[in-house]
Structure 1
Amino acid sequence: MRPTDLAREHGVSTQAVRNYEQAGCLPPAARTPSGYRVYTEVHAAALRAFLGLVPAYGHATAVQIMNAVHDDRLDDALALVDAGHVQLVRDRETLDAVRGAVHHLTEGPGRPGVRSIGALARRLRVTPATLRKWEQAGILDPGRDPATGYRLYRADDVRDAELAHLLRRGGYPLAHIATVVRQVRTAGGAGSLARALDDWRRRLTGQGLATLRAAARLGDYLSLVGAQHPSLDQPEDHVAHLAERGQQQDGH
């Protein structure tokens, strides 16, 4: 195949194909005596796998996965895939938790307790600098200890931080999150948040389906190159499982 053939099949530019090869997402292409690249079905399968991984795990992680495969580090590649699944589970759990927070917002007081900036940062798995940035954006408005001047996050502050954390993971800019938080602090303002949560749920569903399609394409590619790279022969049961999951999804 010529670069144009590979690019046309996937709706990308020939320069993009060359960039993907240079980044390690495709195996190195052979060259004609005149220096032109020559691609094969192996390269086409690699490109399908990479483009399938991008919507499932993000561009940077997709690059890391393909590089690990081409460096004969299959365990590292699968660890990245597993980490993506773990994060998806955490996002779903966070979504459920915030839906519960919305209920408490309208039905009664938040959970008791006062937290320091460090404790709240650990709870959300963010840095204290992130919480200070959210405060500067108008998302959080913690009180202060009159004796020390340290920030004190009460139940409502924790709730607002949880909402901000979820919406931030959903890709919303800080200005939008600040608007949503202000609205849910007022009577009847929870509707805006409910719409945002519904949108994020749809994104998670789409990402979950993308992981199934990515598994099929990656499994196909690993099966194809397994004969050429003996180190990839060992986990054939896992590869077959990945491919089977994706093929079942495609069949439905």
Structure 2
Amino acid sequence: MMCLMSDRDANMKLFNKKMLQYTRDLLGSDSTIEFLHCNAHFLVAMADATEKGLKYQESAIVEKLGRDKNSAFHRFSSCNETAVCKIIRTASDVFGPRGERLFGDLDYSMVKRRTASIYLHSTVNMWKHNGTTTISKIKSSSERRAILESAKKNAKKLKLKNKAAVKAPRDAVKRKTELNERKKKEKEIDDKDRQAALLTYLLSQGGLCHTKEELDALMSGPQPLQRLKVEMRFRKYYMKASELRLTGKF
């Protein structure tokens, strides 16, 4: 029934038009149906009559139809549905051919439906969610039509509102991403500059210590703790060494 409540899709508009004409031809002066459950009852009755007609036609066909020919569906061959209904059900479940009819009147909010970002809204959507449904029950048909036309005009305002609602968080995410990328590049540059400064300092002091003798010479020189601190920092952050390993006699 949700599909039938969208006036945006071309196929559904055509269906609604033909359905309205059919109900007028069939019911005459009683074609005006006020409540949704009455529409549903009428559709169920029509579907039941159509199903019976299809079953009567299929009963005269000996050869299996549709997916019943495929052995993969042998468990469903005893199903009480017609071959036509089975094909439609299988195609709908597997391929989802309903297309834009999947985006019914529930895409009015980015919070509730991400499909609202397509910025398309049906008249029924506004009719349901702005509270005019309750008011319209006490109105005449001409007044209801006027209310519906008025609601349709507000679609542009709603579209712009949702565009702004979608654009704001997307712009915030974009700015955050750009800021993180800039910080990342700045950190990489700082790390390279710091590494180059440490390496320059180490080279000016004779390079890294690889033996015990070199370490003894370092500790006996000026500012031994500062020199050792720089050496350990270089090994930890740029050589990924957790400890100072030396060779020689101890």
Structure-1-length-normalised TM-score: 0.26
Structure-2-length-normalised TM-score: 0.26
The structure, 1 or 2, with the larger RCO (C-alpha pairs under 8 Å, 6+ apart) is 1
